[in-house]
Chain A
């Protein structure tokens, strides 16, 4: 291709960054949290992660074969989708649920809309919400086994710390930060997610804007409306609990479903923070990150349309009073 397509005038920007390299970097960044989740929850969690990745890749392969499209499994995006979905599963979930979720994510949310780059919402989160709406009982059953059951968590079944905080209890910040708590496979350890997220920012894969603005907006919202006053301990527990860290670094920053304009990314981050706050504090359930992100995904086209920068040398037309169309 190079050398044949010379249509615009110089200078041309060249980059060695390819989709598959980016996706591999995301997988590497997810590994600390994933490995920690497996260590904490035992072999079943590993089976969930492996199955969801395999079924995501296989679904993409089969669909593209059947409809005669170019097979794109080598770009790694299906691996990321499968891994993210698996990390959103409770550790003891029945194994067919992540498989069904991966098929839905790839087939309905991604391929039906045209494949990578065309999906209107994050496939992993779309599938998570699909599963939440269909199998609420399975998806909120955070029973543990393995190392966690023996050493860390006091009771084998029960609510997540975030749900306890919502019910008025105080959380144990240290264990929430390091991840000795209940939750989905990938969300428990804020530390491991931060390691991965900072790696992505330093490597230039994602920009700091969306995660930082998202978390900052949510913090302000929680301090104002959380009902705990200016309580930083409560705030820290809210930030370390649930899926907000995983969402902020790995799902809100998805290239396809975030705005491409810088100004749009600020708006998007603020929207995410406010929506997560509304869902968590005023909503019925303790968690709201996934709904906040897919809701904001849907508004991205509007955000982009209103924040497109003017081309070089183009003067923006001034609005004429009284002549609005």
Chain B
């Protein structure tokens, strides 16, 4: 799959798969570990972060020629903090239960590494449209990560998914999954599985490339054909 750099599709693929903030670049770990006790919390946190990320990416990209280089961090924080305040007030007004569940982690979006990181690494250097899709992709990638983690923890820790009883009635919830230690080892196991899959893929690709090279060399008569 080859995508044009900075095209909307490439940015979204980059955010969800190639540089997934939860599983690949491992940034924004604080909310990742803290709020993922259920799927719904994961979705709420992920989408809230995505909204802030898209808005701040767009605004920072628009202002990138005005913001002086030496003062960019305070400017970014100002922009991000404004959007977080807007989102926080909106949540308080229209989704009070989600606001309560996420608690302190909503205001803490201000210092979320993903948002600061995208502003610094992408939006501050690129035009508006790619920045918008970069924010969208990264936000979706973050949401996917949180939902995966929240699903495993909710399934084992409460026996439910999105509040619906999934496990049989006799199943006794393993509380540790929704406590802090559970967050750490579930995240570690998920990351390990994903790394394993990626490594296997990379090894396969490397092997194929090697075989192709060998065939070309053999065809050219530079290397003796392998004796069976």
Q: Which residues of A contact B79 (CB under 8 A)?
A: none
Partner of B185, one of A100, A108, A134, A135: A108
User: How many angstroms between the C-alpha atoms of A108 and B185 in the bound complex?
Assistant: 8
Task: Map CB proximity to A onto B49-76 as digits: 1 under 8 Å, 0 otherwise.
Answer: 0000000000000000000000000000
Nearest opposing residue in chain B for A108, CB measure: B185
Across the interface, do B175 and A133 meet the contact criterion of CB distance under 8 Å?
yes
Across the interface, do A135 and B172 meet the contact criterion of CB distance under 8 Å?
yes
CB distance from B189 to the nearest CB of A (A): 8
User: How many angstroms between the C-alpha atoms of A317 and B155 in the bound complex?
Assistant: 55
Q: Which residues of A contact B181 (CB under 8 A)?
A: 130, 133
Q: Which residues of B contact A136 (CB under 8 A)?
A: 175
Q: Looking at chain A's contact residues, is the secondary structure mostly helix, strand, loop, or mixed?
A: helix
Q: Which residues of B contact A108 (CB under 8 A)?
A: 185
Nearest opposing residue in chain B for A137, CB measure: B172
User: How many angstroms between the C-alpha atoms of A266 and B175 in the bound complex?
Assistant: 36
Nearest opposing residue in chain B for A67, CB measure: B196
Determine whether B176 belongs to the interface, using a CB cutoff of 8 Å to chain A: yes
User: How many angstroms between the C-alpha atoms of A133 and B174 in the bound complex?
Assistant: 8
CB distance from A126 to the nearest CB of B (A): 10
Identify which of B177, B181, B192 gathers the most chain A CB atoms within 10 Å of its CB: B181
Q: Looking at chain B's contact residues, is the secondary structure mostly helix, strand, loop, or mixed?
A: helix
The contact size tier of chain A is: under 10
Task: Map CB proximity to B onto A85-115 as digits: 1 under 8 Å, 0 otherwise.
Answer: 0000000000000001000000010001000
Across the interface, do A133 and B176 meet the contact criterion of CB distance under 8 Å?
yes
Q: Which residues of B contact A100 (CB under 8 A)?
A: 174
Determine whether B129 belongs to the interface, using a CB cutoff of 8 Å to chain A: no
CB distance from B178 to the nearest CB of A (A): 10
Q: Which residues of B contact A135 (CB under 8 A)?
A: 172, 174-175
Partner of A134, one of B175, B188, B189, B192: B175
Q: Which of A107-149 contact B (CB under 8 A)?
A: 108, 112, 130, 133-136
Determine whether B179 belongs to the interface, using a CB cutoff of 8 Å to chain A: yes
Q: Which residues of A contact B172 (CB under 8 A)?
A: 135
CB distance from B204 to the nearest CB of A (A): 17
Partner of A133, one of B179, B189, B192: B179
User: How many angstroms between the C-alpha atoms of A134 and B173 in the bound complex?
Assistant: 8
CB distance from A131 to the nearest CB of B (A): 8
Task: Map CB proximity to B onto A179-205 as digits: 1 under 8 Å, 0 otherwise.
Answer: 000000000000000000000000000
CB distance from B69 to the nearest CB of A (A): 31
Nearest opposing residue in chain B for A130, CB measure: B176
CB distance from A138 to the nearest CB of B (A): 8
Nearest opposing residue in chain A for B180, CB measure: A133
Task: Map CB proximity to A onto B159-171 as digits: 1 under 8 Å, 0 otherwise.
Answer: 0000000000000
Nearest opposing residue in chain A for B196, CB measure: A67
Q: Which residues of A contact B185 (CB under 8 A)?
A: 108
Q: Which residues of B contact A130 (CB under 8 A)?
A: 176, 181
Q: Which residues of A contact B179 (CB under 8 A)?
A: 133
CB distance from B81 to the nearest CB of A (A): 36
Q: Which residues of A contact B189 (CB under 8 A)?
A: 112
User: How many angstroms between the C-alpha atoms of A135 and B179 in the bound complex?
Assistant: 13
CB distance from A238 to the nearest CB of B (A): 28
User: How many angstroms between the C-alpha atoms of A108 and B174 in the bound complex?
Assistant: 15
Q: Which residues of A contact B175 (CB under 8 A)?
A: 133-136
User: How many angstroms between the C-alpha atoms of A134 and B185 in the bound complex?
Assistant: 14
CB distance from A95 to the nearest CB of B (A): 13
User: How many angstroms between the C-alpha atoms of A134 and B181 in the bound complex?
Assistant: 11
User: How many angstroms between the C-alpha atoms of A136 and B173 in the bound complex?
Assistant: 12
Nearest opposing residue in chain B for A109, CB measure: B185
Q: Which residues of A contact B177 (CB under 8 A)?
A: 134
CB distance from B184 to the nearest CB of A (A): 11
Please list 8 pairs of residues, one from A and one from B, whose beta carbons are closer than 8 Å in the complex, sorted by A's number.
A108-B185, A112-B188, A130-B176, A130-B181, A133-B176, A133-B181, A134-B173, A134-B174
Chain B residues at the A interface, C-beta cutoff of 8 Å: 172-177, 179, 181, 185, 188-189, 192
Beyond A134-B173, A134-B177, A136-B175, 8 additional contacts (C-beta under 8 Å) are A100-B174, A108-B185, A112-B188, A130-B176, A130-B181, A134-B175, A135-B172, A135-B175
Pairs A-B, 7 closest by C-beta atoms:
A134-B176, A134-B175, A133-B176, A134-B174, A130-B176, A133-B179, A108-B185
Chain A residues at the B interface, C-beta cutoff of 8 Å: 100, 108, 112, 130, 133-136
